[in-house]
Amino acid sequence: MKALVLNGTGEQPQMSVLNRPESSEQPGHTLVRVKTATINQLSNFIRTGLFPNVPLPLVLGNEGAGVVVQSEVFEKGASVVVYGGNKLGVSQDGLFQEWLWVENHRLLALPKSLSYEEGAALSVNYLTAYRALTKAVTVKPGDYVLVSGAAGNVGYATVQAAKALGARPIGLSSSAQRASIASEAGAIATINLSVENDVPAAVRALTGGAGANFAIDPVGGEGFTDLVRSLRPNGTLVSVGFTGGKQPLLDVVDIIVGEKRVVGYSLHAEKDEELHDAIKEILRMAAEGAVKPRIDSRVTLDDYLIGYERLTSRQAAGAIILTL
């Protein structure tokens, strides 16, 4: 079978498409013919060396969808979503290969109304968004939720999930084009950072002078301070990513005087059993049309570098699907 194998990490990752033998049957596992996976930030962090002690060689790929070939719990031919947690594509071979034995608890039935591409794109980004909104904080109907990088994968998912929960998401974007993508996701308003010099004032103008109840930040970097300043008193910022930088500046006086909170959320720190019900809820919302992942592009195993170039250059506006 064909597999995309990581042999060395760093600024110039060593990856190659190889023919490998299929692994043998394992009890408590289901054999899946992988149809789709995603080229996402997690796999890029791993291949560039941000995750230490990664076992090599390693097949990346932490989320995907496919068809059941052999199983004790699923019918042959059933369509399933695969969520890798902190194992698949991280500490053991993942979904960038044609066939894979997957632990049964990592599989969920793919609703008939969803494609394999949509199924692959609903795990990591939408789980991060949903749990940030419901575990790290508790967003209620009517709350204003400020979302940075709202046209990016996690940001787009956060806007949709917040809207599905009855909140009022406001999207921050780097251009007019990306602001339109945030609006497409369901943002009630957008702020174009290329023309807006005072984000907190813009947020207050959109929230009756009060500021946002919550901010969800997948970006980090220089915009972090403005997000905190955009919160109302007792508001909370949830940090879920750092694509824009890992060491933001903070206005400590603003945090103290406004009794604001900054908390972190990591999807991969959660236990699998804690996430099972959340994935089911996301699939339900997707089947009902409340959330819908945006697909940016599709690449094959042989063209994987094109996918990573779109990801790292920030050209992508949606999920990059690896088709197998």
Q: Calculate mean pLDDT across residues 96-100.
A: 98
Query: Over pLDDT 70: what percentage of the chain?
Result: 100
Residue 284 has pLDDT above 90, yes or no: yes
Average pLDDT in the 19-39 region? 95
Same domain, 233 and 303: no
Look up the domain containing 62 and give its range. Answer: 2-122+293-323
- 83-112: average pLDDT: 96
Contact at 8 Å (CB) between 316 and 310?
Answer: yes
Counting Cα atoms < 13 Å in the Cβ hemisphere of 278 gives 24
Q: What is the overall mean pLDDT for the chain?
A: 96
Confidence of residue 242 (pLDDT cuts 50, 70, 90): confident
Give yes or no: residues 256 and 304 share one domain. no
Three-state DSSP class for residue 62: coil
Looking at residue 243, its pLDDT comes to: 77
Which residues lie closer than 8 Å to 195 by C-beta, 6 or more apart? none
Which of 31-45, 89-103, 176-190, 259-273 is least confident? 259-273
Higher pLDDT pick, 245 / 229: 229
With respect to residue 47, please indicate whether it lies within any of the assigned structural domains.
yes
288-317 tens-digit pLDDT: 999 999 999 999 999 999 999 999 998 888
Query: Are residues 61 and 147 located together in one domain of the fold?
Result: no
> What are the tens digits of pLDDT across the range 119-161?
999 999 999 999 999 999 999 999 999 999 999 999 999 999 9
- Is 274 inside a domain boundary? no
Which value, to the nearest 10 degrees, does the dihedral of the CA atoms of residues 147, 299, 10, 43 take? 50
pLDDT at 272: 84
pLDDT at residue number 105: 95
Q: How far is CA 156 from the centre of its chain?
A: 9
Q: What CATH number did the domain enclosing 23 receive?
A: 3.90.180.10
Asked, for residue 281, whether it belongs to a domain, the answer is: no
Q: What percent of the chain has pLDDT over 90?
A: 90
User: In this model, does residue 31 exceed pLDDT 90?
Assistant: yes
Which residue type is seen at 9?
A: T
Q: How many CB atoms lie within 10 A of CB 56?
A: 10
Question: Tell me, what's the pLDDT at 268?
Answer: 85
Q: What average pLDDT does this structure show over 32-45?
A: 97
CATH code of 223's domain: 3.40.50.720
- Domains identified in the chain, total number: 2
pLDDT at residue 252 in the model? 92
**For the whole model, what pTM was predicted?**
0.94
